[in-house]
Amino acid sequence: MSIPTQKVPAFGLGTFRLKGQVVIDSVSTGLELGYRAIDTAQIYENEAEVGQAVVDSGVPRDELFITSKIWVANFAQGQLIPSLQESLRKLKTDYLDLTLIHWPSPENQVPVAEFMGQLLEAKRLGLTRQIGISNFTVGLMKQAIAAVGAENIATNQIELHPYLQNRKVVEFAHANDIQITSYMTLAYGEVLNDPVLKQIAERHQATAAQVALAWAMQLGHAVIPSSTQRANLASNLRALQLTLSADDMAHIASLERGHRLTSPKSIAPQWD
């Protein structure tokens, strides 16, 4: 299966669940260590802090790749673009590099074509360089493609780790040249104690976290691990230098067990 064109940087910094000074410190440290892609969302309630950390870092805007996500409450006609403009104000930037629909509209309250159309308009207006989706099933991806064309969908950001490899969604996305962004690549730390990953890590003089991140990137996915610890931020970054063998990749592929960790009842779709 061919790997889609890389539209999203392979390695970025996630900010989920990080707020206040904690997120400022994480982003500041990340930028200092060489991270250049940062992932946030309206619902994380940390866009202003992320923006502050970015401005204070002194890293030129054109060296950065900033992603945010539109929350489900902002999908209705006439609401999406103003909510994105508010995100830009908080992030202290004129544009985003990537704007995602965070979750599909609960019970299809706002049709896919309606919010995707507004997102494409935001791209035309120059508010965002690229657009994409998150937590979309194959059926929902088909609707998004029908609405704006696959060429306008940079990525589908989904839960993906060795225990949930989401192969149906990956295959469909790749067939349409849509890159996958893996979130929770470390499965909330569960994979760090996995004997298979630890064995592979030992062979490469690496950590289990580096192995999981390298595995996802070798499949063509972007990864956005987060951390509040400088040592872990630096260590995760070293996954970029790690190359796994075909044997390593096959061993990790065998860890699939459909172990989904994120499925909020009020908004989760019927998963594939």
Distances in Å between the alpha carbon of 22 and those of 99, 107, 194, 231? 24, 35, 28, 15
Q: How large is the angle between the packed helices 47-57 and 80-91, nearest 10 degrees?
A: 40
Q: Which single residue is written with the structure tokens 């999406």?
A: 80
Positions marked active-site: 44
Q: Is 102 annotated as a binding residue?
A: yes
- Provide the 8-state DSSP code for 190: G
Chain CA centroid to CA 98, Å:
10
Give the Cα separation of 271 and 118 in Å (integer).
Answer: 25
Give the Cα separation of 124 and 108 in Å (integer).
Answer: 25
Give the Cα separation of 272 and 257 in Å (integer).
Answer: 14
Residues 6+ apart with CB under 8 A from 121: 81
Q: Which single residue is written with the structure tokens 């972007």?
A: 222
Checking phi first, is residue 78 left (phi over 0); if not, alpha (psi -120 to 50) or beta?
A: left
Give the Cα separation of 179 and 156 in Å (integer).
Answer: 7
User: In this structure, what are the phi and psi dihedrals at residue 64, rounded to the nearest 5 degrees?
Assistant: -105, 155
Q: Which single residue is written with the structure tokens 């225990």?
A: 163
Chain CA centroid to CA 30, Å:
16
- Residues forming a β-bridge with 254: none
Which residues contribute to the annotated binding site for substrate? 102
Which residues contribute to the annotated binding site? 102
